[in-house]
């Protein structure tokens, strides 16, 4: 009998939303306790800041350039390598419960397997998972959660925020007290909300296993990704009027604009509403119109969703304890990418490689039976390192096709094994607008270079000191004093950046 693995992901969660990372709005005692017992990573980055490429990196252990899911809407081939398959082949029982998003959701032809499993039960394995129950951000659609809700609580289906508008663009409709986009009062019973459903289904699957089974369970919460529509019954947890404005939100418009003007032009263009380069932000919302109160309310609702996740995880941990497994279970908690949540006067995500979107919560509580020592790791690591970590936990060799390395257990281990840098990519091409970024984070600096595209000629870039400028307000790309540093970072980036999969895989849907 080996170590069991509970892999917990959320969607679009910032580093600073956890108490253990200094967050002060949401109470997250369960994850905080796991961090205190295990390894807390202070500089974990995704290899893409949107869902499908990032999740494809998690399951394959490969960079987006290698697995080929270069933007949302590009499906990961069903025969792509999968860490779940490696584990299953080694005798692990495997499940994915919650949000998968390796294939597009907008699928009227029902061409993608993920969207079919709720009506055509899984036979055999899918991406290495023997059990697969899917959910996403609302109560409608083809996934298991939506069908469960429609069957058992049909009155609740229409209570969620309509994520897409009538033109199938990300909705700009505002709600709550402040009219913030994607904020909504959701009358759904808490027990029926997808966060608790994911935990319920996870517990149900775990309880079906034999005591001596080894298992890998990916529990994937759709929150705190927008819409920010937690059950209305929970809104009393946090009064948005009491929520401080984020440090990354300059209160005056002139300060915000001055900061944005120091960055490549698509930043300010999005803020002003003249360019929405990617599908992940509402096409009909102008960030410059966002008020400070709207920022507070978004942060409050987001924090409520984080608390619900933490409590749901607590229930799953209790179920694991009831099975007598606690000492042999590794728990890894992270997310796929971050969220602006008001930084720079922005919400959502896009081609913007700054801490809001790149610095992620990552906590690894090794199985207590392994005798691991609690630590924090300040060296850069990536989600590309998760799949190799799962192999290492299971005592398996890391397959050659994985491009990361098992996570370090402390900084000394990180230094010994060369955790010096982490890379992040962005490519998108949507209705004639293309954007291409390559980013390296190392030695306390984050450096992004732009390839030619709709708004860029290939000379633009961003360079920030994470030590002197933790909010990334001062772009030093054109600072002559940083020329040598910039050149070194770019040389290191190109030395380690995998070549892009060609031909590019086809975009099959908006998301």
Partner 1 sequence: MALGSIRHHIRIHRTATEVWALAGDPTRLHEWFPGVVSCSVDGDQRVIVLGSGMPMPEEIVVNDPVQRRFQYRINAPIFQYHRGTIDCIDLDDGTCLVVYSTDADPRTMALTIAGGTAGALDELKRQMELHPSQNGVQ
Distance of CA 328 to the CA centre of its chain: 26
Asked if residue 293 binds partner 1 (CB under 8 A), the reply is no
Per DSSP, what are the bridge partners of residue 429?
434
Distance of CA 397 to the CA centre of its chain: 26
Which residue's CB is nearer to partner 1, number 144 or number 476?
144
Q: Other C-beta atoms within 10 Å of 213: how many?
A: 15
Q: Other C-beta atoms within 10 Å of 487: how many?
A: 11
The region of 38-46, 167-175, 192-200, 377-385 touching partner 1 under the rule CB under 8 A is 167-175
Asked if residue 228 binds partner 1 (CB under 8 A), the reply is no
Asked if residue 506 binds partner 1 (CB under 8 A), the reply is yes
Shortest distance, position 166 Cβ to partner 1, whole Å: 8
Q: Kindly write out the interface string for residues 232-271 of this chain, putting x where it contacts partner 1 by CB under 8 A and - elsewhere.
A: ----------------------------------------
The region of 179-187, 308-316, 401-409, 502-510 touching partner 1 under the rule CB under 8 A is 502-510
Among 104, 175, 230, 366, binds partner 1 (CB under 8 A): 104
Strands (E), 49-182: 93-98, 131-134, 174-175, 180-181
Asked if residue 142 binds partner 1 (CB under 8 A), the reply is yes
Distance of CA 335 to the CA centre of its chain: 4
Asked if residue 382 binds partner 1 (CB under 8 A), the reply is no
Asked if residue 279 binds partner 1 (CB under 8 A), the reply is yes
Among 1, 22, 79, 109, binds partner 1 (CB under 8 A): 109
Asked if residue 367 binds partner 1 (CB under 8 A), the reply is no
Helix axes 292-322, 194-207, angle to 10 degrees: 10
Task: Return the DSSP state at 79.
Answer: T
Shortest distance, position 443 Cβ to partner 1, whole Å: 40
Site for partner 1 in 396-435 (CB under 8 A): 431
Among 375, 392, 396, 507, binds partner 1 (CB under 8 A): 507
Asked if residue 168 binds partner 1 (CB under 8 A), the reply is yes
SS3 content of the chain, % helix, strand, coil (to 5): 35, 20, 45
Whether residue 461 contacts residue 262, with contact meaning beta carbons closer than 8 Å, is answered with: no
Which residue's CB is nearer to partner 1, number 108 or number 397?
108
Site for partner 1 in 116-135 (CB under 8 A): 116
Of 328, 416, 334, 407, the C-alpha closest to 375 is 407
Asked if residue 281 binds partner 1 (CB under 8 A), the reply is no
Q: 153: exposed, middle or buried (C-beta count within 10 Å: 0-12, 13-18, 19+)?
A: middle
Asked if residue 509 binds partner 1 (CB under 8 A), the reply is yes
Whether residue 209 contacts residue 215, with contact meaning beta carbons closer than 8 Å, is answered with: yes
φ, ψ for residue 180, nearest 5 deg: -65, 145
Per DSSP, what are the bridge partners of residue 446?
441, 464
Question: C-alpha angle 457/459/465, rounded to 5°?
Answer: 135
Asked if residue 107 binds partner 1 (CB under 8 A), the reply is yes
Asked if residue 108 binds partner 1 (CB under 8 A), the reply is yes
Which residue's CB is nearer to partner 1, number 202 or number 277?
277
Asked if residue 494 binds partner 1 (CB under 8 A), the reply is no
Which residue's CB is nearer to partner 1, number 56 or number 115?
115
What is the rounded distance in angstroms from the CA atom of residue 230 to the CA atom of residue 305? 6
Number of residues near partner 1 (by CB under 8 A) = 22
Among 42, 169, 189, 410, binds partner 1 (CB under 8 A): 169
Asked if residue 106 binds partner 1 (CB under 8 A), the reply is yes
Torsion, CA 283, CA 284, CA 287, CA 289, rounded to 10: 180
Which residues of this chain interact with partner 1, rule CB under 8 A? 73, 104, 106-111, 116, 142, 166-169, 279, 283, 431, 506-510
């Amino acid at each position: 009998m080996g170590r069991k693995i509970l892999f917990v992901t959320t969607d679009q969660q910032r580093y600073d939303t956890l108490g253990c990372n200094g967050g002060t709005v949401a109470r997250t005692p369960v994850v905080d306790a796991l961090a205190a017992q295990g390894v807390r990573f202070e500089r974990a980055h995704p290899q893409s800041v949107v869902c499908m490429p990032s999740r494809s990196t998690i399951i394959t252990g490969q960079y987006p350039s290698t697995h080929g899911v270069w933007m949302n809407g590009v499906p990961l081939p069903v025969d792509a390598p999968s860490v779940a398959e490696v584990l299953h082949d080694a005798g692990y029982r495997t499940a994915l419960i919650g949000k998968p998003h390796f294939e597009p959701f907008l699928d009227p032809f029902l061409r993608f397997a993920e969207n079919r499993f709720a009506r055509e039960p899984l036979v055999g394995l899918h991406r290495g998972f023997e059990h697969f129950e899917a959910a996403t951000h609302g109560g409608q659609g083809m996934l298991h959660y939506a069908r469960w809700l429609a069957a058992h609580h049909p009155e609740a289906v229409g209570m969620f925020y309509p994520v897409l508008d009538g033109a199938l663009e990300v909705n700009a409709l505002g709600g709550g007290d402040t009219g913030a986009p994607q904020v909504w009062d959701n009358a759904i019973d808490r027990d029926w909300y997808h966060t608790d459903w994911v935990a319920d289904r996870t517990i149900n699957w775990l309880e079906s296993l034999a005591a001596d089974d080894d298992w890998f369970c990916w529990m994937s919460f759709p929150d705190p990704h927008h819409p920010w529509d937690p059950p209305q019954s929970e809104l009393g947890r946090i009064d948005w009027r009491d929520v401080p404005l984020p440090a990354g939100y300059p209160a005056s418009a002139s300060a915000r604009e001055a900061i944005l003007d120091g960055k490549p032009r698509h930043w300010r263009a999005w803020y002003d509403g003249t360019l929405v380069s990617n599908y992940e932000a509402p096409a009909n919302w102008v960030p410059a119109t966002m008020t400070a109160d709207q920022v507070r309310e978004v942060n409050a609702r987001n924090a409520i969703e984080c608390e619900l996740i933490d409590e749901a995880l607590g229930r799953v941990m209790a179920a694991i304890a009831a099975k007598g497994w606690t000492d042999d279970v590794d728990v890894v908690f992270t997310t796929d990418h971050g969220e602006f949540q008001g930084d720079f006067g922005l919400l959502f995500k896009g081609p913007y490689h700054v801490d809001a979107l790149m610095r992620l919560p990552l906590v690894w509580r090794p199985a207590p039976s392994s005798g691991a020592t609690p630590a924090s790791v300040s060296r850069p690591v990536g989600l590309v390192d998760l799949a190799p970590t799962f192999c290492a936990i299971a005592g398996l060799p890391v397959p050659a096709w994985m491009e990361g390395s098992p996570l370090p257990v402390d900084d000394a281990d990180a230094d010994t094994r060369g955790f010096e840098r982490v890379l992040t990519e962005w490519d998108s091409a949507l209705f004639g607008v293309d954007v291409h970024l390559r980013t390296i984070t190392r030695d306390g600096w984050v450096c992004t270079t732009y390839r030619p595209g709709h708004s860029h000629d290939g000379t633009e870039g961003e360079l920030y000191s994470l030590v002197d400028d933790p909010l990334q307000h001062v772009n030093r790309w054109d600072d002559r004093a940083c020329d040598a540093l910039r050149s070194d970072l770019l040389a290191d980036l190109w030395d380690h950046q995998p070549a892009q999969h060609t031909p590019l895989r086809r975009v099959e849907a908006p998301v």
